[in-house]
């Protein structure tokens, strides 16, 4: 059994962990390619227990019940060609979250986060149907070998999927995520992060995301399911 604690810095909604960061923390602890399904909002600053749950399966538990379930899984995902870095910069300048954002303090995409505090990935729409943003990984994300830690790759792959299916006004929560890292990016190296729509079924929205280095080489990819939150009036 492994203990995980999601620090308050790594929030998505104000009082729960960013979904990608939480899923990535599980993947990093297990050193495996995983499919992770979130069962409830991950609490912050609370010790959580990561324990085996059968063959090649685990669950993340709190005192109040199961937070997430994970299983080994190899991702198969067709990834579009990336835009030019300069086009990702242009798209980011038109980020919908600058005007309206359900969680403006999100660790990954919150515009209220300062440089060096959040990832500040601000994906904007391109006429190709993709959303794209530049990302310059800070030195503080280093895993100790000059490369960005696994959990931050998963975090970076999270929110662009939301903006691929939302203009920022509709609140959604991450339901499930699966990722594969082809190679970890280096801190300080300019990257491009993209997101695209795959499909939808009711309140469920299926997306893909990917990270490319400055040369346009694919470094990481993910698929995810986002679940729209119903308004109080239904």
- Between the CA of residue 98 and those of 83, 113, 152, 205, what are the distances in Å? 22, 12, 22, 23
Q: Which of 34, 50, 193 is nearest to 124 (CA)?
A: 193
Q: Supply the pLDDT for residue 232.
A: 44
Q: Supply the pLDDT for residue 229.
A: 83
CA dihedral 215, 216, 222, 224 (to 10 degrees): 130
Q: Supply the pLDDT for residue 231.
A: 57
Q: Which of 72, 46, 65, 18 is nearest to 180 (CA)?
A: 72
Give span(s): CATH 3.10.129.10, the chain. 2-72, 85-228
For 230, residues 6+ apart whose C-beta sits below 8 A from its C-beta are 203
Q: Enter the pTM of the model.
A: 0.96
Distance CA 142, CA 189 (A): 12
Distance CA 75, CA 63 (A): 31
**The token pair that represents 8 in the structure block:** 């308050």
CATH number of 2-72: 3.10.129.10
DSSP 84-104: PHHHHHHHHTT-GGGT--S-T
Query: According to DSSP H, which parts of the chain are helical?
Result: 19-30, 85-92, 150-156, 159-165
Residue for token digits 């300069």? 86
| Residue 92 · residue 134 · CB < 8 Å | yes
Q: Supply the pLDDT for residue 233.
A: 43
CATH architecture of 85-228: Roll (3.10)
Distance CA 125, CA 15 (A): 28
- Between the CA of residue 16 and those of 11, 19, 21, 71, 206, what are the distances in Å? 5, 9, 11, 22, 22
Q: Supply the pLDDT for residue 234.
A: 38
- Between the CA of residue 166 and those of 29, 83, 133, 202, 207, what are the distances in Å? 31, 20, 15, 14, 11
Q: What are phi and psi of 90, to 5 degrees?
A: -60, -45
Pairing of strands 124-125, 65-72: unpaired
Block means of pLDDT (10 residues each) for the chain, 234 residues, are 96 96 98 97 97 95 96 96 97 95 95 94 96 97 97 98 86 94 97 97 96 96 93 46
């Amino acid at each position: 059994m492994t203990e995980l604690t999601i620090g308050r810095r790594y929030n998505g909604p104000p009082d729960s962990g960013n979904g990608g960061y939480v899923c990535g923390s599980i993947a990093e602890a297990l050193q495996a390619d995983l499919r992770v399904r979130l069962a409830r909002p991950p609490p912050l600053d609370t010790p959580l227990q990561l324990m085996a749950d059968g063959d090649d399966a685990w669950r993340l538990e709190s005192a109040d019940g199961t937070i997430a379930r994970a299983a080994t899984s190899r991702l198969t995902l067709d990834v579009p060609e990336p835009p030019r870095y300069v086009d990702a910069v242009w798209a980011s300048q038109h980020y919908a979250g600058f005007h309206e954002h359900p969680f403006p303090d999100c660790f990954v995409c919150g515009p209220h986060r300062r440089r060096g505090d959040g990832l500040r990935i601000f994906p904007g729409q391109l006429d190709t149907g993709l959303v794209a943003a530049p990302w310059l990984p800070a030195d503080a994300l280093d895993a100790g070998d000059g490369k960005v830690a696994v959990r931050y790759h998963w975090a970076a792959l999270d929110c662009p999927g939301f903006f691929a299916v939302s203009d920022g006004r509709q609140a959604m929560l991450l339901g499930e995520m699966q990722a594969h890292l082809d190679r970890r990016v280096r801190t300080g190296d300019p990257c491009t992060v993209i997101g695209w729509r795959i499909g939808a079924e009711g309140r469920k929205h299926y997306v893909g995301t990917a990270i490319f280095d400055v040369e346009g080489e694919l470094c990481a990819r993910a698929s995810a399911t986002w679940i729209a939150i119903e308004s109080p009036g239904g």
